């Protein structure tokens, strides 16, 4: 019997899904909010049915915390928000299935049977997971300098371990500065190719005129300046790992030929009459949306399929929680050793600022900022916010400053006739009430500016003068612009 938790603010959904699960002989737990669901998950469950649109938060943001609960439960998203809202984000975070509402009893039973079969296969016959903790990482794992124990990073590391155990192609996705090359190095260092070369190709710096020579090599006399044979990077990676950084920048002219190289592991140096062979393992990385590029005809779909046998998404630093402080202390210690400075600790005010900053440049930005802070602090034993570069201090200050509501936009200027109507001074009102006070009000509003009074009332300047004379209202000695 498995323990199944349903997190949904709709009582009807909880009851109907729970009834299906109970009829299958499993224990059902229910929660009407995210906070209740997180509390229930800590008691140990096997499967969680999770709604995304909850009254106290977005269910998608809690997926990592739920995955990290005791017994590492599998998560099935079941949501009524249309257009597959959140589907890509949830699937990237490793949910078992994404089910739109309304879900029929058959779909619920099928999804639960499938996920429990998986857990039995993974944990052994007669065990679904309750009371067992996830498998520990092997003691021999070499993190290659990767730091962090947050939920997102633990999931990423687990995928890296699986990738290292195979020889399949790996595509690493993530923002600039998140550490994609470090992921590739860790996969290589923990694979059976660890003793082979790790060859880096920066695709953003490849020019179409030299790219084939750089990758495949050339023979003497192949082109002007080819004074001797030269091995390409594909040949250099024989027996090891070829890392294509920023593979989204790979020139279109090379994508077709490189696809064949991936499939056959054979290539022809420029100017050579024969092909050579290289037994390399490919790891590629990019911060671009390759699927969108394939739709726009900028990247070959067949090459993308070949690259993404295993796909690993590296979380940005802003989603890694306490990893920021762990990384900060690591980088400070590293910089102190490099510059032979005394060890330093982080001031409380600095800790608050570091954890509140978005770090758009991710881990790379954090490392550079703290290196600069260590140099600025010199022989001081504590790093304070004043030691940070000014642009980072400004970013931290802006993040900590409450945003004031924008002042209301000024009302649009009224047309002159609408303005006079709005002020109760339309000339038709005078014709209706025959009250000489109308012209006194008109002069007060216009500060005895006859031209302005003419514009507001719709009367000619001559008519204004005539009515003022009839009403006995002098035009001299008052206001401004009299009789302009």
Q: For the chain, first and last CA: distance in Å? A: 95
Whether pLDDT at 456 is above 80: no
Shared fold status for 3-123 and 151-313: yes
Whether pLDDT at 170 is above 90: yes
Stretch 131-137: mean pLDDT: 40
Least confident of 116-120, 404-408, 438-442: 404-408
Helix (H), strand (E) at residue 399:
helix 390-400
pLDDT band, very low/low/confident/very high, at 98 (cuts 50, 70, 90): confident
pLDDT band, very low/low/confident/very high, at 422 (cuts 50, 70, 90): very low
pLDDT given at position 88: 62
Question: Domain 317-400 - what CATH class?
Answer: mainly alpha
Residue with tokens 């249309």: 82
Whether pLDDT at 235 is above 70: yes
Question: Per-domain residue ranges for the chain?
Answer: 3-123, 151-313, 317-400, 416-471
Fold of 3-123: Rossmann fold (3.40.50)
How would you list the strands of the sheet with 74-79, edge to edge? 27-31, 3-7, 47-50, 74-79, 97-100
Round to whole Å and give the CA distance between 278 and 236.
8
pLDDT given at position 133: 39
pLDDT given at position 419: 45
- Identify the DSSP state of 318: G
Q: What is the DSSP string of 91-124?
A: HHTT-SEEEESSPPHHHHHHHHHHHHHHHHHHH-
| pTM higher than 0.75 | no
Chain centre to alpha carbon of residue 303? 25
Chain centre to alpha carbon of residue 28? 34
Stretch 37-60: mean pLDDT: 88
pLDDT given at position 470: 80
Round to whole Å and give the CA distance between 454 and 459.
5
Whether pLDDT at 121 is above 90: no
Pick 406 or 245 by higher pLDDT.
245
Q: Which two tokens stand for residue 23?
A: 């009829």
pLDDT tens for 243-265 read: 999 999 988 888 988 999 999 99
Q: Which residues contact 373 (CB under 8 A, 6 or more apart)?
A: 332, 383, 387, 388, 389
β-bridge partners, 266? 277
Least confident of 107-121, 183-197, 324-338, 439-453: 439-453
Q: Which CATH superfamily is domain 151-313 in?
A: P-loop containing nucleotide triphosphate hydrolases (3.40.50.300)
pLDDT band, very low/low/confident/very high, at 327 (cuts 50, 70, 90): very high
Q: Which two tokens stand for residue 150?
A: 């947050």
Round to whole Å and give the CA distance between 31 and 41.
10
What is the percent of the chain with per-residue pLDDT over 70, rounded to a whole number? 84
The average confidence (pLDDT) of the chain is: 83
pLDDT given at position 172: 97
Least Cα distance to 215 among 235, 198, 245, 229 occurs for 235
Stretch 47-65: mean pLDDT: 85
pLDDT tens for 216-232 read: 999 988 888 788 888 99
pLDDT band, very low/low/confident/very high, at 453 (cuts 50, 70, 90): confident
Whether pLDDT at 273 is above 80: yes
DSSP-H helix ranges across 48-190: 63-67, 87-92, 105-123, 151-164, 180-189
């Amino acid at each position: 019997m498995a323990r199944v938790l349903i997190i949904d603010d709709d009582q009807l959904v909880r009851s109907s899904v729970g009834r299906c699960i109970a009829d299958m002989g499993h224990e059902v737990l229910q929660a009407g909010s995210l906070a209740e669901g997180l509390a229930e998950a800590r008691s140990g469950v096997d499967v969680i049915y999770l709604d995304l649109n909850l009254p106290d938060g977005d269910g998608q943001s809690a997926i990592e915390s739920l995955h990290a609960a005791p017994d590492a439960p599998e998560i099935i998203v079941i949501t009524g928000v249309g257009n597959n809202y959140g589907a890509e984000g949830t699937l990237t975070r490793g949910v078992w299935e994404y089910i739109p509402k309304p879900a029929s009893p058959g779909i619920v039973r099928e999804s639960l049977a499938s996920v429990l079969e998986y857990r039995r296969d993974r944990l052994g016959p007669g065990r679904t997971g309750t009371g067992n903790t996830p498998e520990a990482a092997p003691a021999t794992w070499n993190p290659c300098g990767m730091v962090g124990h947050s939920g997102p990073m633990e999931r990423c590391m687990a995928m890296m371990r699986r990738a290292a155990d195979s020889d399949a192609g790996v595509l690493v996705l993530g923002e600039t500065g998140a550490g994609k090359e470090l992921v590739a190095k860790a996969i290589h260092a923990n694979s059976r190719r660890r003793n082979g070369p790790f060859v880096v190709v920066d695709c953003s710096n490849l020019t179409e005129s030299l790219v084939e020579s750089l990758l495949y090599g050339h023979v003497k006399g192949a082109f002007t300046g080819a004074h001797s044979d030269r091995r390409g990077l594909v040949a250099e990676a024989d027996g090891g790992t070829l890392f294509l950084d920023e593979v989204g920048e790979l020139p279109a002219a090379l994508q077709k030929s490189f696809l064949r190289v991936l499939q056959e592991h054979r290539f022809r140096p420029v100017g050579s009459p024969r092909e050579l062979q290289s037994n390399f393992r490919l790891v590629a990385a990019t911060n671009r949306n390759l699927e969108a590029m394939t739709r726009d005809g900028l990247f070959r779909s067949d090459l993308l399929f070949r690259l993404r046998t295993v796909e690993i998404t590296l979380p940005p630093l802003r989603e890694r929680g306490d990893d920021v402080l762990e990384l900060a202390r690591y980088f400070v210690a590293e910089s102190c050793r490099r510059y032979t400075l005394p060890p330093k600790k982080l001031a409380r005010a600095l800790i608050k600022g570091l954890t509140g900053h978005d770090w758009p440049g991710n881990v790379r930005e954090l490392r550079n900022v703290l290196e600069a802070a260590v140099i600025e602090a010199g022989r001081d034993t504590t790093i304070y916010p004043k030691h940070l570069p000014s642009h980072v201090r400004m970013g931290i200050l802006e993040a900590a400053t409450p945003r004031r509501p924008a002042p209301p936009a000024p009302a649009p200027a009224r047309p002159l006739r609408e303005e006079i109507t709005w002020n109760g001074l339309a000339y038709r009102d005078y014709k209706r009430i025959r009250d000489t006070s109308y012209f006194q009000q008109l002069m007060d509003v216009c500060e005895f500016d006859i031209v302005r009074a003419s514009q507001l009332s719709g009367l000619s300047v001559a008519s204004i003068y005539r009515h003022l004379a009839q009403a006995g209202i002098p035009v001299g000695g008052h206001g401004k612009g009299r009789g302009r």
